[in-house]
Amino acid sequence: MSEVIVVTSGKGGVGKTTTTANVGTGLAMLNKKVVLIDTDIGLRNLDVVMGLENRIVYNLVDVVEGNCRIKQALIKDKRYNNLYLLPSAQTRDKTSVSPEQMQKLIDELKEEFDYIILDCPAGIEQGFKNAIAGASRALVVTTPEVSAIRDADRIIGLLEANEITKVDLIVNRIRMDLVKRGDMMTIDDVVDILAVSLIGAVPDDENIVISTNQGEPIVGTDALAGRAYMNIVKRIMGEDIPLMNLDTDNGFWNRIKNIFKSK
């Protein structure tokens, strides 16, 4: 039984693509057959984050328009041969694909794959409608900032209106130092405001920048963010994993600083 998950946020730049890459790779590491679809037509990103940009020959629009078969457009991942990417077209615009066409494409992919993960563009226009067309489940990514949370709220409303009832929240880029000081909303604050179930929180980790530079997802590594993503992956698969402690303050100087801070 395959599951179709859309990764969405409303606001841009909160980490949809990074989340898609890491969740997809994580599922593949746990031996699931996974395809990632970049639905951001005109501005493709997922291929670069996955480090597969130099293998693209055909894209989503080519498949939908019948210029090639699905198999020809699917790019096999560098490291996991049960992980595939369907890249988006860069030289076209969102109207090149309709929600009906997406639905049909996903129905075909369902026969092959355990998980189909759709990287949704920012915004609530055509691209969003295309991305959610075939999805049965959504991961809403937000950061603990007013603008991102407001947009996430709008997106959750739209997902519910489109009968996607299984909506889980990922709070991204948490900075525990700011949270402790009271200058960042806590995970609980965000969950409280948005009133949806939390599937995981990911710390603001410089290792994500490094891994993205290298075109390799961070999931599976020992970095804090890598572990956070793996926990999310396991929860997606239905495992009951407790939320991890995102506190990074274990260095000597940090401990000293904390002693002074708490006074």
Partner 1 sequence: MKQTVMIKGNAYGLVVMLDKEAPFEDILKEVAVKFRDSAKFFKNAKMAVSFEGRKLSPEEQQQLIETITDNSTITVVCVLDKDEENERRFKKKLEEAVTGSATGSGQFYKGTLRSGQVFESESSVIILGDVNPGARVVAKGNVVVLGALRGTAFAGLSGNEQAFVVALEMAPTQIRIADTIARSADRPPVKPDSADQPKIAYIENGNIYIEPLCKEVINDIHLI
Partner 2 sequence: MSVFDLFKKKNSGTVAKDRLKLLLVSDRASCSPEIMEAIKNDIIKVISKYMEIDSDGLDIQITQTESEENHGTVPAIFANIPIKTIRNGSDARSEAKRN
Task: Answer yes or no whether residue 10 interacts with partner 1 by CB under 8 A.
Answer: no
Tell whether residue 242 is a contact of partner 2 (CB under 8 A).
Answer: no
| Contacted by 184, from partner 1, partner 2, none: CB < 5 to 8 Å by type | partner 2
Positions in 134-173 near partner 2 (CB under 8 A): 144-146, 149-150, 153-154, 157
| Residues ≥6 apart with Cβ < 8 Å to 77 | 25, 28, 50, 52, 83, 84, 85
Which of 9-17, 55-63, 201-209, 231-239 is the region at the interface with partner 1 (rule: CB under 8 A)? 55-63
Q: Could you give the CA distance from residue 130 to residue 128 in angstroms, rounded to a whole number? A: 5
Q: How far is the CB of 39 from partner 1 (least distance, A)?
A: 16
User: Is 178 near partner 2 (CB under 8 A)?
Assistant: yes
d(CA 41, CA 94): 5
Q: Binding residue for partner 2 (CB under 8 A) from 76, 78, 181, 261?
A: 181
| 186 interacts with partner 2 by CB under 8 A | yes
The region of 50-58, 113-121, 126-134, 177-185 touching partner 1 under the rule CB under 8 A is 50-58
146 binds, among partner 1, partner 2, none (CB under 5 to 8 A by kind): partner 2
**Which of partner 1, partner 2, none has residue 250 at its interface (CB below 5 to 8 Å by kind)?**
none
Three-class SS state of 141: strand
- 57 belongs to the binding site for partner 1 (CB under 8 A): yes
Contact letters for partner 1, residues 211-230 (x by CB under 8 A): ----x---------------
By CB under 8 A, the count of residues binding partner 1 is 13
Write down the least CB distance from residue 11 to partner 1, Å: 22
State the chain's maximal CA–CA distance in angstroms.
Answer: 67
* 122 φ/ψ angles, rounded to the nearest 5 degrees: -65, 155
- Of 39, 56, 43, 61, the C-alpha closest to 118 is 39
Per the CB < 8 A criterion, the answer to whether 1 and 137 are in contact is no
C-alpha 82/C-alpha 216 separation (Å) is 16
Token couple for 61: 């629009």
DSSP per residue over 23-35, as a string?
Answer: HHHHHHHTT--EE
The contact set with partner 1 (CB under 8 A) reads 42-44, 51, 53-57, 78, 90-91, 215
